[in-house]
Structure 1
Amino acid sequence: MAPLVPSHEVLENRRIVNINPETVSNIPSTDFPGHWPGESHEWSLEKFRNGFQVEFHQNKQFDASFSLIGLDAAIANAFRRIVMAEVPSLAIETVYIHNNTSVIQDEVLAQRLGLIPFKGSVDGLNWMRWHTKSSDDDPSSGSSLSDYNTVVLRLDVECTKNPNASPDEEDPRKLYKNAHVYAKDIVFHPVGRQEEYFSGEGTFQPVNPDILIAKLRPGQKIEMEMHCFKGIGADHAKFSPVATATYRLMPDIKILRPIIGEDAKKFAKCFPKGVIALEPITTEEAAQSNTEYHGHAGELKAVVRDPFNDTVSRECLRHEEFQGKVRLGRLRDHFIFNIESTGQYNSDHLFLESVKVLKLKCARWKRGLTDLMR
């Protein structure tokens, strides 16, 4: 029996998840995503190439927005999870406190330092190797400290009175020296080949130099050494290279029947600005007797301009005058990604790093399958 060939209209309807006033419908209930009984859905590289698209919406250093079209939700979510949890970065892991007379406890201070995001040369990050901690049973089982697995930082700050301050000065930042300790006070001490990889603009430093670490007063001092190791977000959130990594489905708005006049203005207010536009009804449209535009030449009608900015609030479904005139949905294979980098990588590079990680996972799985078949 030859496989069924669905029509173009059926295929388009399958892409849409219907948004109803109280429910969501047209959710796939097939055994395998994107497969329907009696039809041929064999995967082919050529078919994937023809259907897959990437569209960039915003590309800034710390914030990127782009669309992946033609993917299954499982693959899109795999990229999101890899970006958050498996793309490596460097963060403070060990803190050696030699002197801390500030009001902040040692444990709290160490925790604050560990959450400061750092940046450096990506080549240097790729050159760095993993540092293995020693176990409690065997202290000598871990990695020894070296230039290729440990970055050394130091923080030595002491608060003193400012002899040049005005007698009536009340601002502690002017009254004292080093009254506020910032991330910019952390000093990088390169060792070995780190001078080659972390130099110039690619030197190892805090992403934001104005992060407040502590407040001091005369006589108080902080003196410590910190070791940064390479890690991934799956071990601790401080190693995650992103602040946020999310996606949403592309909204789909279909006006089934004309919305004219005051109803059109009200309809436009149900959506974020720019989603719905108001256009005058043309003479040709008004001349057609078999449409609801007949006799309404010059009046305003509602048209969908940019569904990308819609938040799918369902506000229009609350009003009786729009019942049966609009259908809301989302395209199940159109994923709008938003990635906000913490600074180690440019935001658009993060997704490419997730692709590399997934390729390595596939290669390991393929080798393991080959070994299993032997």
Structure 2
Amino acid sequence: MDPRSGEPRALSTAVLAAATRESRGRAHAFTKELHGQQVEFATHPQTGMKELAAEIERRRAEAARHAAGAGAAVVALATSPLPAGPAITEGRRYRWIRERFGLTALEQLTSGCHVHVAVESDEEGVAVLDRMRPWLSVLLALSANSPFWQGCDSGYSSYRNRVWGRWPSAGPVEVFGSARRYHQQVRDLLDTGILHDEGMVYFDARLSRTYPTVEVRAADVCLDASTTVLLAGLTRALVDTAAREWREGEPPARHGVGVLRAATWQAARSGLDGDLVHPLTMRPAPADRVVHALFCHVEKALDENGDHALARQGIADLLHGGNGARVQRDLLRRTGSLREVVAACVRRTQEGR
């Protein structure tokens, strides 16, 4: 972001060049994304949430330092509050996407948070995907951090989710039942000729094509590093819980994709500030009750992973103080300025709270 105006700036090339210089030829954590106003980083595999938190805070600080050298600031927002013009990153793949998808690609200045959790096999991974489906909308509600779009209040807590949903392969999916059926579905999608490659299979949760993991992609990028850590802990517990259910022979819920899409819409609309669709009943329920149901669903896994206290406190803090969407709207009410919203979120991003 421009540190004075708060408007997005297409400076990712400069930020990545600074990271490369600092690493002195060694691999670093930062990569480009579809738009020049974005930079992405990945953490190393971690088993402890304290270690994960420390790395996220360190990477955010590094990104801020590299951006400052280019005359910019970084901010962990899932959409820009202020108007932004398209600046597609150079590269053959990105050019193909821009030409193929037109305005859909140009408007994808959105940032999500992906959590990878290791699984022992593709069979276990698909069993996990099948059993996690109803709970992914709750992760979206917790992380929602994109209420503004092109200078206006969108009416949504996660407008990123609505923009992201324009891709033909995005969103909830059906129960697969086996790794063979999962991989056949991916091949069928690629055979349509619509997608460039397997990286464009944008399911809310999928098998990673690079790592032996389940990759959960439902969430907005989180304003506070602590929310990212909470999201990671809950996602790992969801994976562990689903894997245990599979080993014990418990079948997945058979909710239809249409109902899951409706639950996702509701989570994007209200975040934590209204009703959500309860994953067990598929009926409306207050957000705090639905979040508590998620906690109870994964409580055994949280305890086994040593994340019980972290998750309990993190959920309490979010329900009390609000997710990024509520924080941004509160800032606008207090300041009357989207530029001031961005400036406050820049500071909050760097504080690592």
TM-score, normalization by structure 2: 0.25
Which has the larger share of helix? 2
Q: Which has the higher contact order (CA 8 A, sep 6+)?
A: 1
Which has the larger share of strand? 1
